[in-house]
Structure 1
Amino acid sequence: MENGSHPFYFYLTMYKDQKNFRYIYFTLVLILYLVILSMNTLIILVIFLERALHQPMYILIACLSVNSLYGSTGLLPKMLADLLLDTHAVSRPACFIQTLVILTYGAYEFTILTLMAYDRHVAICEPLKYHSIMTTRTLAIMVAVAFLYPLCAIGSNVSLAFQLPLCGNELRKLYCSNWSVVQLSCIQTTMNNIVGITITVVTVFLPLFFILYSYIKILVICQRSSSEFKRKALHTCLPHIVTFVNYSIAVFCEIIFSRYELPDVVAVILSLEFLIIPPVLNPLVYGFNFPEIHRRILLLLTSTKISMTSK
C-alpha cells in the first residue's frame, strides 16, 4: 500500500470469482453498453434535429438520455476492462472521479425528473400560463441549476472522502463508491456522514416529495376534468411516473446493498440496477410511448436506410 494511509490504488474485489465466465460477462456488458449508446443517442438526435420537438417536455427527455450516456460511460467501459484484466486495480484519482460521476448521475436523474414533474404540473394545472412560465430562458436556468447544484454538493462530499486516511484499499464493489471508501477510514467519519445525509435529503428526498406533490395535484385535476382531458394528461404523465418509480426502486436497492452484507450474486444485481436499468428503460418508455418521438425515429431510420441503399 503506497503512502501508508493514503493508498494510490484501490482493488475491486467483486471481480475475483468471475474468471471462468469473464468472456461471457464481457460480451453481455458490451452488448448492453452498445444498446444504451445507440438508443439514447437516437433519442437525443431525433429531438435535436426536429424543430417541432424543441419544447420543454422533449428537451428534458433529451436531458435524461444525456444523463444515461454520462452514467453508463462512467461505469461500463471500466467494467469491460476489468472483466478482461487479471488485476482489478484503479488509481486513487480515477476511483474518486468515477465516484463523482456515478453519484452525480444519480442526483441528475432525480433533478431532471423533478423538472419534468414541474413541467407537467404547469401544463395540466395552469395550461393558460404554460408558455409564459416555461420560457426558453426559464428552462435553461432550471436545467443549469439541475446540473450544477448536484455537481457542487456531491463534489464537496467526495473531496471529504478523498482526504480521509484509510486502513485498507479493498472495495467490495464492481466500481468505486463513496460509502465503500469511507468505510475504510482509520478515523471518525462524523462530518462525512452529516454532509452525506444532508446532500441525500436535498438532492433525493426533496425532489421526491416535490414529484409526489406534483403528481397528486395532477391526479386531483384529472378527477375533476373530462374523460378526454384525463386520458391526455395520463398519457403524458405515465412515462414520467414509470421512470420515477423504476429509478426510486433502483436507488433504494443500491442503498440497501451499500449498508448491508448480501450474497455476491444479489449484491452485484442490486449495485448495478440503478446504473443499467434506467438508461435502457428510459428510451423505451419515451421512444415508444410518445407518438411524436416514435414517428420521427421511424422516419430517421427509414431515411438513413434509403440513403445507405442508394449508395
Structure 2
Amino acid sequence: MMDNVSVITMFTLSGLNGTANYRVPLFALTLLCYCVIWLVNVTVIVTIIVDKSLHEPMYIFLCNLCINGLYGTSGFYPKFLIDLLSPTHVISYAGCLLQAFVLHSSAGADISVLALMAYDRYVAICQPLLYHSVMTKQRICVFVFFAWLVPFFLLLISTVASTAKLCGSHIPKIYCVNGLISNLACSVSILSIIIAYFNYTSYFGHAVFVVWTYIYMIKTCLRSKENRSKFMKTCLPHLLSLTVFVVSLLFDLFYTRLGSKDLSQSVQNFMALEFLLFPPIVNPLIYGFQLTQIRKRIQHFVSVRRLASNYVNRDDRTPTHIIMSVIHSTRCGQKAARKGFPRNQQPGISSVPADVSSISADSCTPANVSSVPASVFSVTASVSCFPSGSCCGPAQVSIVHSRLSSVRARLSSVSATLSNGTRVFSRPVRVSS
C-alpha cells in the first residue's frame, strides 16, 4: 500500500450519496441561498464604502466581516453546486487542500474580526473620552491587517502540515477540512497535531478576550442609562452575530470530531452547512436592520431608485426633470404637505430652469440663498424647493434677495473706500429676519 500512496490525486466526497432523488430542488435552493448571501453582503459593503459618514471603526470592521463572508462561501458553494448536477463527486488533491484552507482561514478571520468589533465597543463604552485617540485610522489599518494575516498564516501552516503520505481517498463529508485529510495519512504526524492544538488555543484566547470585554461593558452599562442605550444599539447586533457564528461552528466541530454514524446523511449535511449558511446571511441582516445609519442609507437608496424608475419611463421628461422630480417627491413634497398644501396641489417643477440642479441650500438664510441662480427667483410656484429639502415661499426669497443686494452694495462701497486709503468706521451690517 505504501507504494501506491503517490498515485492518490483525487478524493471522493460521500456527503451527497443519498441526494439523487432531489438534487434539482436542492440545487435551486442552494443557488438561491448563495444569491441571497451575495445580495445582502454586497449591499452592506457598497453602502459603507460609498457613504463617507460610515467610515468609522465599527462600520469598517463590519465591512470586513461581510467581505470575509463572501470569501468563505466562495470556497464551498460553487463546488457544491457543481457536485449537485454531477453524477460523481470528486475533487483533486490540490483542490481539496485549497478548499480546506479557504474554509478554515475564513472561520479564523471571522473570529478575529468579531474580536476587533468587541474591542471597539469596549473602548467606545468603557473609555469614551479616549476612543478617537485609541481607534485612529492607522491603528484600525493595523488591526484589520493582522485580523486577516494571522488566520491566513496559521491555517497555511496547518494546511501544509496536512500534506503527508496518504493511504486513502474517501472523505465522508460534502467539503474538505484539514482534520479529515489528516485522518487519511498513513502515519500520524506529531507536527500536525501540535499545529492544530496551537490554532485551537489561539482562537480560544480570542473567545476569552471577547468574554472579558463584555464583562467590563456590562459593568459599565449598569452605571449609566446612556451606556445601556449604546449597548443595546451597537453591542446587541455584535452579540447576536457572535452567538450565531459560535453555535454554527461548534455544531460542525462536534460533528467532525465526535460525529455519530447513527445520524442520517441529511442531518449530517445540515450540521456541516450551518457555519456556511447562517452567519453570512444573518450578519448583514442583523446589522442592516439594527444599525440606524445603515438602515436609513439603504432605505433612501431604494426609495430614490424606485422613484427614478417611475419617471424614466415617461418620454416627456429630460434628465434634469427626472432628477428634480425624484428630489421633489422625496423631500420637498413632504415639506409642502406639512405647510398645508394638498397632495394634488403641491408645487411642481415644470418651470424650474436647468441650472437649478446646481442649487445647494439647507435653509432660507441669506448665506444659502445668495448662491441661488437669479433665474430661480422667477419660478411661478407657491413654494420654491431646493434639492437639499428646503422649501421657501416666493415672498421670503424675494425679501432675502433684496436685502442681500443692499448688503452687497454697501460692502462694495466700503471696499472701494478702503482701497483708496480712507479709514471707514461703520456699524456692522445686519440682516434682519
TM-score range, shorter chain: over 0.9
Residue 49 of structure 1 and its aligned partner are, at CA, apart by: 0.5
| Distance in 2 (alpha carbons) for counterparts of 1:214 and 1:133 | 16
Residue 302 of structure 1 and its aligned partner are, at CA, apart by: 2.2
| Distance in 1 (alpha carbons) for counterparts of 2:43 and 2:306 | 14
Letter of the aligned partner of 2:212 in structure 1? Y
Pair 1:143-2:144 in alignment = yes
**Mapping 1:206-221, distance limit 5 Å:** 206-221=205-220
What is the match of residue 60 of structure 1? 61
Q: Is the 8 A contact 2:125 2:227 kept in 1?
A: no
SS at match of 2:148: helix
| Distance in 1 (alpha carbons) for counterparts of 2:13 and 2:102 | 17
| Distance in 2 (alpha carbons) for counterparts of 1:196 and 1:5 | 24
What is the match of residue 382 of structure 2? none
Letter of the aligned partner of 1:100 in structure 2? F
Residue 265 of structure 1 and its aligned partner are, at CA, apart by: 2.2
* TM-score (norm: length of structure 2): 0.69
Letter of the aligned partner of 2:133 in structure 1? S
Pair 1:85-2:86 in alignment = yes
Residue 152 of structure 1 and its aligned partner are, at CA, apart by: 0.8
Q: Percent identity?
A: 33
Pair 1:247-2:248 in alignment = no
Letter of the aligned partner of 1:172 in structure 2? P
SS at match of 2:11: strand
Letter of the aligned partner of 1:214 in structure 2? T
Residue 230 of structure 1 and its aligned partner are, at CA, apart by: 1.2
Q: Is the 8 A contact 1:46 1:300 kept in 2?
A: no
Larger CA deviation: 237-246 vs 4-13: 4-13
SS at match of 1:87: coil
Pair 1:237-2:235 in alignment = yes
What is the match of residue 170 of structure 2? 170
Q: Is the 8 A contact 2:220 2:227 kept in 1?
A: no
| Distance in 2 (alpha carbons) for counterparts of 1:94 and 1:259 | 23
Q: Is the 8 A contact 1:40 1:283 kept in 2?
A: yes
| Distance in 1 (alpha carbons) for counterparts of 2:154 and 2:227 | 40
Residue 54 of structure 1 and its aligned partner are, at CA, apart by: 0.4
SS at match of 2:162: helix
Q: Is the 8 A contact 1:98 1:176 kept in 2?
A: yes
Pair 1:300-2:301 in alignment = yes
Pair 1:291-2:292 in alignment = yes
The number of residues matched between the two structures is 307
| Distance in 2 (alpha carbons) for counterparts of 1:308 and 1:70 | 33
| Distance in 2 (alpha carbons) for counterparts of 1:131 and 1:105 | 29
Letter of the aligned partner of 1:228 in structure 2? E
What is the match of residue 192 of structure 2? 192
| Distance in 2 (alpha carbons) for counterparts of 1:261 and 1:229 | 43
SS at match of 1:192: helix
Larger CA deviation: 299-308 vs 137-146: 299-308
Q: Is the 8 A contact 1:243 1:278 kept in 2?
A: yes
* TM-score (norm: length of structure 1): 0.96
Letter of the aligned partner of 2:255 in structure 1? F
Deviations 1:24-78 (A, max 9, x none): 1100000000000000000000000001100000111111110111111111111
Letter of the aligned partner of 1:167 in structure 2? C
Larger CA deviation: 168-177 vs 263-272: 263-272
SS at match of 2:87: coil
Residue 234 of structure 1 and its aligned partner are, at CA, apart by: 2.4
| Distance in 1 (alpha carbons) for counterparts of 2:161 and 2:153 | 13
Residue 275 of structure 1 and its aligned partner are, at CA, apart by: 1.2
Letter of the aligned partner of 2:196 in structure 1? G
Q: Identify the structure with the greater helix proportion.
A: 1
Larger radius of gyration, structure 1 or 2?
A: 2
Letter of the aligned partner of 2:5 in structure 1? S
Letter of the aligned partner of 1:183 in structure 2? N
Residue 307 of structure 1 and its aligned partner are, at CA, apart by: 3.8
Q: Which consecutive residues of structure 2, in runs of 5 or more, have no partner in the other structure?
A: 314-433
Residue 305 of structure 1 and its aligned partner are, at CA, apart by: 2.9
SS at match of 2:123: helix
| Distance in 2 (alpha carbons) for counterparts of 1:10 and 1:300 | 47
What is the match of residue 416 of structure 2? none
| Distance in 2 (alpha carbons) for counterparts of 1:200 and 1:260 | 16
